[in-house]
Amino acid sequence: MGSNYLTQLRDKIYCSSDLVVNEDYKFDPDAPISTTTKDIYKSGFLFIEGTFYNDFRHEGSIDYSLSMKEWAEERPEIVGPFKYESMDGVKFLDLTIRIGQPYLYMHQGNCEHLIIFTDLR
């Protein structure tokens, strides 16, 4: 819905790499799993229509778009300019979205997913 926040979309995206276990269980394989990569690497962004929407809801969040920003600033004649915003507080009704256009969701520093909107009402 237009009233939904980008953070709500991000929280609904399922990725199997979020469930990777970061501990060694070889001596006790039946021990309960206490930490997954999703618990450790909480940062991420959505790139929609020239804007990086970063998720800074958690303490110590990393701006994964920073390296792309630096790269683009070195090549202003080729790419950009880009905008940078926190996804917290941005609703779908605030966005301009094109049907069929591929957008990017990136998390865990290098796990990339294409997001394509096929229907808007």
Q: What is the pLDDT of residues 62-71, one digit of tens each?
A: 888 888 888 8
Token digits for 70? 């630096």
The answer to whether residue 63 is domain-embedded is: yes
120 with 112: CB under 8 angstroms? no
pLDDT digits (tens, 9 = 90+) for 22-42: 666 566 667 666 676 677 778
The span from the CA of 78 to the CA of 85, in Å, is 22
Q: Is a pLDDT exceeding 70 seen at residue 120?
A: yes
The answer to whether residue 29 is domain-embedded is: no
The answer to whether residue 112 is domain-embedded is: no
pLDDT digits (tens, 9 = 90+) for 74-113: 888 888 788 999 998 999 899 989 999 999 999 887 889 9
Sign of CA dihedral 101, 72, 65, 111: positive
The answer to whether residue 38 is domain-embedded is: no
The answer to whether residue 12 is domain-embedded is: yes
Print the domain residue range for 78.
Answer: 1-17+55-97
The answer to whether residue 104 is domain-embedded is: no
Number of domains in the chain: 1
The answer to whether residue 37 is domain-embedded is: no
* Predicted TM-score of the model (pTM): 0.81
The answer to whether residue 23 is domain-embedded is: no
